[in-house]
Structure 1
Amino acid sequence: MKILTICVMSALALTTASGALAAEADKAVVNRDWTDSVAPAQQQAYEAGLKAYNQCLRDHGVKYNQATVTHETGDTYKYSTVTGPYTWADFDAMDAATKPCDATWRTQSNPHLLNETSVFMVDQPELSHMPAGWEKQAPPVFLDIIYETLKPGHEASEAFTATVKKIAAAAAKSQWPYYFRVMQVQGGDEGSPDYVLALPQKSWADYGTEASPSLWKMVEGVYGKEDTGAMRRSLNDAVQHSSSHVDRYSADLSYVPGK
């Protein structure tokens, strides 16, 4: 499965927050994720509340998207809503635009939550391999989502960053037809991953089909066998923990501006 051939490359260590924020200040690379856990008996009521909240956004002409996915594997009683990518300044404007709907969310969805977590996820274009204009395309049906935590220390971060840039460059050079998006997690609580890797999939059949060529065969075709082996060892040494699940896009639970 593609998820197995690529997950080893999905971790990136945290850089200093101040430097990262300064570099990203004017770039539309910032996403925010809210992940909700809902008891099985509360799912219908929670979804009704989310739809009411989206209708409130629609009534107020909010121009910021909010795409919701259901967790299809792993903890299947979770929902994730993601908005972005935008600039950091856009999130100030978004807070003001969505404020009139806060009461709708608190009264109609909050009562049905077990808990909620939220993080910012910052796109890393140099570490990703995505088609041109992907931001404007329709959301994929499925996403392989891989959480990665690096081993402590600056050395692991530097080694991984250098290697994953080379992998993304090789994918672009060889026009590898399998895409991956790497995002750095910021503002997460204890236990949050350092990085998230998202792999778009069209169907379960697409998800279950082995990449051809595989990730490492593709890399080997660009850099050679010896260098590729060194890159694999470097990535393995950098990763402390990883986990994965599959998400399905829900048009019924998502908010698309103008629709």
Structure 2
Amino acid sequence: MNTITPWVALSFALLGTASVQAADTSGSTIVRDYTDVVAPADQQAYETGVKNFNQCLHQHGFKYTWKAWIHETGNTYSYSYVTDPLSWEAFDAMSAAGKACDEALRTAVNPHLKSETSAFFEIMPSLSHMPKGTPPTSSFIEVRYFKLKPGHEAFETFMAAAKKIAAAAEKSNWAVHYMMGAVREGADDAPDFILVIPANSWAEVGKEPDPDVWKMVENVYGKESGQAIRKSVNDVIQNESEHVDSYSAELTYMAAGH
């Protein structure tokens, strides 16, 4: 999907939970992410520790799912864990319910960490293009981060352009589905937006979309307007990066009933 760049390269709701549309109307649009980095020598012990931690959660009837993703490109000794979309209030209940296994986390997992980062992502249905109904499952996700230039104007410009692109994808029934989220409560160097594209194989990850994103936009709005949208995006992006993750059923904590 390289030709989707520069703006397209939330694993989130599109991977086995309620649809984006449903999440938007229910208020459950917030996803939490933890990304762990481990040393190669600690990888096996770390994964065993995660499984032990998940077992503790099961024993205590923990009702919140954490999906696990192993980074296949970029830092390949990284693991990301993301919740289903929830309300802000649900994270208070999640924190209280997880305290029973804090000791298991500290003793079985934390000793094998080189570092860990965490942030919240707000799913943005108006910036996303997802199939109607139940979202597809996925073996891989292509994740792209966008760090914008400082200032409110850059944020609003990016939002406006992303909405137009999503509207064009919807109108043209574009074959590429994706979800975009805004980063909340991240560190100073955290990206401003995250975009996730599902795939079921490496062949699908590398497949060139036809038309590509900008041709699709031009087909809907006309060449002049399409180029103006593209320029507005390019002008506000400070930097971007991407990586591909694979889903790990072994490290996922699946709450009962899911």
Same fold at TM > 0.5: yes
1:73 is aligned with what amino acid?
T
Residues 78/62 of structure 1: CA separation in 2 closer, same or farther (3 Å cut): same
Unaligned runs of 5+ in 2: 10-23
Aligned to 1:231: 229
**What is the CA deviation profile of residues 52-81 of structure 1, one whole-angstrom value per residue up to 9, with x for unaligned ones?**
111111111111110011000010010011
Match of 1:91 in 2: 91
Query: Which moves more between the two structures, 25-34 or 195-204?
Result: 25-34
Question: Matches of residues 9-88 of structure 1 in structure 2 within 5 Å?
Answer: 27-88=27-88
Aligned to 2:107: 107
CA distance in 2, matches of 1:7, 1:179: 16
Offset of 1:219 from its aligned partner?
A: 1.1
| Contact 2:8 2:144 (8 Å CA) reproduced | no
Aligned to 1:168: 166
- Find the counterpart in structure 1 of residue 4 from structure 2: 5
Return the match for 1:252 from 230, 235, 250: 250
| Change beyond 3 A, Cα 1:56–1:25 | farther
| 4+ long deviations beyond 6 Å | none
Residue in structure 1 matching 2:150, options 130, 152, 159: 152
1:250 positional shift: 0.3
Could you tell me which amino acid in structure 2 is paired with residue 106 of structure 1?
R
Deviations 1:74-126 (A, max 9, x none): 10010011112111011011111111111111110000001111001111110
Instruction: Give CA deviations for 1:157-210 in whole Å, capped at 9, x if unaligned.
Output: 222211110110111111111111111111111211111111111110001110
Scaled by the length of structure 1, what TM-score is found? 0.89
Q: Which residue of 2 aligns with 1:14?
A: none
Native 8 Å contact 1:171 1:218 kept in 2: yes
CA contact (8 A) 2:3 2:209 kept: no
Q: Is the 8 A contact 1:9 1:164 kept in 2?
A: no
Aligned to 2:126: 126
In structure 2, C-alpha distance between the alignment counterparts of 1:94 and 1:85, rounded to whole Å = 13
Q: Name the % identity.
A: 49
Please, what TM-score do these two structures have when normalized by structure 2?
A: 0.90
CA distance in 2, matches of 1:34, 1:165: 27
Amino acid at match of 1:72: E
Unmatched 5+ residue regions in structure 1? 11-23
